[in-house]
Amino acid sequence: MMKNLFSLEGETAVVTGALGKLGPVWIEALLDAGASVFAIDLPATRLSEPFRKLESLHGKMRLTLGRADVTDRESMEIACRACIEHYGVPGILVNNAGIDSPPGSNGAGHRLEQIPFAAGREILEVNTLGMFLTTQIFGTPMLSTGKGSIINIGSLYAGVSPDGRFYDHIESDPPFLKPPMYGASKAAVVNLTRYLATLWASRGVRVNTLSPGGVLGGQDSAFKRKFCERVPMGRMAVAEDLFGPLLFLASSASAYLTGTELVVDGGFTAW
């Protein structure tokens, strides 16, 4: 029994934001554990190389890409129907779609007092309201089966403020600011997780948050040095560090766990 505790054989999983940085990480873990995956991303988003590799390795029978917008109910309802027609009612939902703005992502920035209202609204609409809408649409069929695991992807910054000193070496005018609505949106995700978990616990659907710390992926050397000096384990996370936590939350290994935030940060928030 113990060796099968993390098995997802026969399960269907849904992953939003499938073509982003972390989407393929979650998809790879789920596929390797035996699940079939219905992946979702925006119609205009180009196929990423990591996603192509997973598609090539596992085949389109086990990995299907649907095109939809997490802020658009009609497109998400169409995606949900396609998922059910192709694989059946999903038992796992990974709410991964989100907006972040790392340094240099768009070549522009703002001082705090100049940040446009629309920029903050877009982050909240995707990261928080989009997660809620997706849960409404894909969680409802789960309730009809009496089982399911919903995993909302949070962030280190759901619980602490970004340290501006990580970025002060970057030449930028105005100086780079982590978008203030990013952390706020992820804090809201953690609270919504608790709300949904308590509402649906008696109906067999568990809801938890998985909040990664800094994940290695193209950051400049000065940032990596400063960030790693702040982490008790002395390094940033890599993809393999996230596989186990995701599978724990997705599988029967966490059958009595709901409404919690699992922070995978190398000890960052312990200091």
Chain centroid to Cα 77, Å, comes to: 20
Burial (CB < 10 A; 0-12, 13-18, 19+), residue 95, is buried
Is the Cβ–Cβ distance between 83 and 63 less than 8 Å? no
- For 153, 232, 271, the CA distances from 254, given in Å and listed in that order, are 16, 26, 27
Name the helix (H) or strand (E) containing 16.
strand 12-16
Tell me, yes or no, if 155 is annotated catalytic.
yes
- For 59, 103, 216, 238, the CA distances from 212, given in Å and listed in that order, are 28, 18, 11, 10
Residue tagged active-site, from 87, 178, 182, 185 = 182
Tell me, yes or no, if 3 is annotated catalytic.
no
Tell me, yes or no, if 182 is annotated catalytic.
yes
The token pair that represents 134 in the structure block: 């997706």
Could you say which DSSP state residue 130 is in?
Answer: I
User: How far is 253 from 2, CA to CA, in rounded Å?
Assistant: 9
Residue tagged active-site, from 36, 87, 149, 155 = 155
Is the Cβ–Cβ distance between 99 and 123 less than 8 Å? yes
- For 14, 122, 128, the CA distances from 189, given in Å and listed in that order, are 18, 15, 6
Nearest CA-CA partner of 46 in 30, 26, 23, 27: 23
Peptide linkage before 174 cis (omega within 30 of 0): yes
Residue tagged active-site, from 87, 185, 186, 254 = 186
User: What are the residue numbers of the active site?
Assistant: 155, 182, 186
